[in-house]
Amino acid sequence: MVACLFFVGLLLPGGVWAETAPQSEEKQLGTSHQVRTGIDVSEFTEVDALGFLSPEAVKPWGHLFSDETERILLARGDTVYVAFEEGHYNKPGDLYTVFTSSSALDHPLTGRDLGYVISFLGRVVLKMEVKPRLFKAQIVEGYRPIKVGDPVIPFQPVSPCVQLSSPEQEPSKASKAFKIPVVAAKDMSQVIGQLSVLYMNHGHEHGVQRGNLFQIVHPGEADQPKEPALPDQVLGYLLVLEARPSTSTGLVITAKREFYNGTMLKAVHLKETLKKLLAHYGLEFNEEDLETHPLHVLNRLTEQVGSRTDLPEALLLLSKLPKCPIK
């Protein structure tokens, strides 16, 4: 099943075109009374199987000790036993993610130590304690084949409903383009395209937040020697689904062609872009709505000025993506 996105529209699985959120009859851009709205990515990726980039080796809480099948590879519904390391509190009903780790990786641009790609294989739920630190469990989700010996860490859910946000840059750097590289891809894929899950070695500490939108860019080149370089070529867009202190994970929501690790991402400052457009069209707004209800503001904007071709490509894309209420 394949989902196809384009900046002028969105084709969901099954051939159904996604529409923008219902438009309001109100003419004011104030939306403080409305429920916060996010982008729904559940049609495009399994958010609980994203994995992540870790700058250091991940220490497991335990391992799959044995199973009740005669198969080498395990799957959803199979009963397994999980042996835990000392120092962790566990109880029946707890959920754990089964994972695997890559070997130590190098940065695709600098060659420096990058870290490890942590790939999620599935999820188990603890059923009963057989003896101290040994639990009978059941595999409740399987994303890739699982086998005895695979390590586990506590399950951390990720919501598929993503509230948009802007990067938190330092004031001294706010006037400069905020660019970061793609350093790895889920399952160690080398060729990247639409709906790929990607990892960046920038996180909260660098201003990257869940909900940030980035352009995927290729540097422009001069037509002739000594001439100024052309503007960056926009290959597509990436939405950050999870941000950690020093790394982040994103989904390619649209791409015009394939690209590779080392490709640069350029931040879209949604709040500032909306503010300039509202001022350009002479529409009133308040700062709080731009911060907490950017999608509502965007919908009101397109309602009042129309889906004009002079609207930025990023805003046209966001207006077509499926929406969801933030809980």
Mark whether 108 and 30 lie in a shared domain.
no
Mark whether 29 and 168 lie in a shared domain.
yes
Q: If we measure between CA atoms, which residue out of 123, 63, 78, 127 comes closest to residue 96? A: 123
Q: Which residue has the higher pLDDT, 274 or 27?
A: 274
Stated pTM of the model: 0.86
CATH assignment of the domain containing 248:
2.40.10.410
Check if the beta carbon of residue 99 is closer than 8 Å to that of residue 152: yes
> How far lies 327's CA from each of 60, 163, 311, in Å?
31, 10, 30
Mark whether 172 and 264 lie in a shared domain.
yes
Model pLDDT for residues 248-271, shown as the tens digit of each residue? 999 999 999 999 999 999 999 999
Q: Is the residue at 100 inside a domain?
A: yes
> How far lies 139's CA from each of 94, 126, 131, 147, in Å?
12, 9, 20, 11
Q: If we measure between CA atoms, which residue out of 1, 151, 119 comes closest to residue 49? A: 119
Model pLDDT for residues 28-74, shown as the tens digit of each residue? 444 445 788 999 999 999 999 999 999 999 999 999 998 888 888 99
Of 154, 188, 214, the residue at which a domain comes to its end is 154
Q: Is the residue at 41 inside a domain?
A: yes
Mark whether 164 and 257 lie in a shared domain.
yes
Model confidence at 327, in pLDDT bands (50, 70, 90)? Answer: confident
> Please, which residues bridge with residue 151 across strands?
63
Q: What range does the domain containing 172 cover? A: 4-47+160-272
